[in-house]
Structure 1
């Protein structure tokens, strides 16, 4: 058995186990009843808006690459990454394929790697900031000043890391030149240094990411309301980003089962019913998989290959 297949089976087992626990502890009838409340029109509308959000996400990544690729190629690579998420572990698998396809076209590994890592870091910081905002507004009486302060600390720390890494890498490999991966580390330091010299781009990308994630939260709310999930919007802003971060861990297939159980656990304390949260979460997972299938079609008709892209990243 190949190493890749073994890893895939472990992730598949994680998703199967999470789903099995969900349907063991929660009434299946309530989950199916929640599904029955969704209309095809609502589902397709959310799906269309979700696709638009990913076009915007591809644009953000393209800007971080300094528009080195034609936008059409960047968009195809982004949707190919979404297709990879059908089978690869979490968002990291899709990121690797997206970056691999960009590298095949650009032949500039450090630029692609810096943009990929920077894009993921910006998204994670944006998610953490949104979650803290939601938590602060959920506090008794609300505390907007605390919310903005906490979000600012996280955002500032992440941006500062972009400025610190180049100096640390150059100093470390300069003092200990025998350390492995010296060439890659120094090229990455140069690429991050170029990003660090463009603070307005980083700030724009962060605000753009927060706007995209906020749209996705709103779409999740729109999908969950007919199912019967009625909790404060601040609760969604607190719980949804955390569930998404958990779903990126390499323990499931694209977060299947893990995202739904995490979201239910986080929303139940605010008055949500776990079966209804799971029903809306599985409907959301359906949108993710439909988007992945669309990405696979884009990949097929573009003549691109996931295996070749993944090999570039592994090498």
Structure 2
């Protein structure tokens, strides 16, 4: 009994395999319509391979972009911890973008071509049904299944393409975020370097400038940009506190700034200082700062006749 059951199972499997093989085998053409259907079917097989190869290239591109993004994130994370990675080999972003756009065009053209071939095959199939309408006809059965198979594959191909393009768009957005993060960090580092360099210069001037043996006059000083009599408000100035500053000179030129600092120190003002406004790219030189307006106004009134005070003005910093 077991042997009989096994033989029956084997027979059924053989029948199923035979049917499957028959469905996979292109029927021998019997007329002009089936000749055309046969030719188109062979073309669709080649097109399927081409689409697959193109999508593999697109998948590889996505993987490469993902790795670049991962590396950029890691580079930024390490940079924030003070660890600098070695430079990566140069790659032209413009060239890569051009290659990607060309690949997307190739994929779209391949999909369009395959869709047209499937539509043409389906049209011929319907034309044949008008002549041979039998649902048991092997040719009809084969092409009905083949057309459905091709449509399903095209749906999957288009979905995969859209998923990959969507992934590329996500990577592009995240990469831009990381690039801005890197630029911001670089900008911060540059500002900090500048601040430290400015501090070092100021300290050097204070330490190495002796009191002038000949009293200086206001004519010896270049006060830089003329300031109005109104209180100037500057916001978001780094490395200084909010408050009212009695500014005695404003320069955008570092050499002129340093010359003014030296002459002020030479005139006996050792508390000279300055802050940098990144918005205007100007150095505001001062030696007094107050927390409230009334104190600052009193100090301006009693500024005296020191030569470096001739162009004193008030600046309010709001951080």
- For the criterion TM > 0.5, the same-fold answer is no
Shorter-chain TM-score bucket reads under 0.3
The structure with the larger Rg is: 2
More helix by share: 1
> TM-score scaled to structure 1, two decimals?
0.24
Q: Which has the higher contact order (CA 8 A, sep 6+)?
A: 1
Quick check: which one's strand share is greater? 2
TM-score (norm 2): 0.24
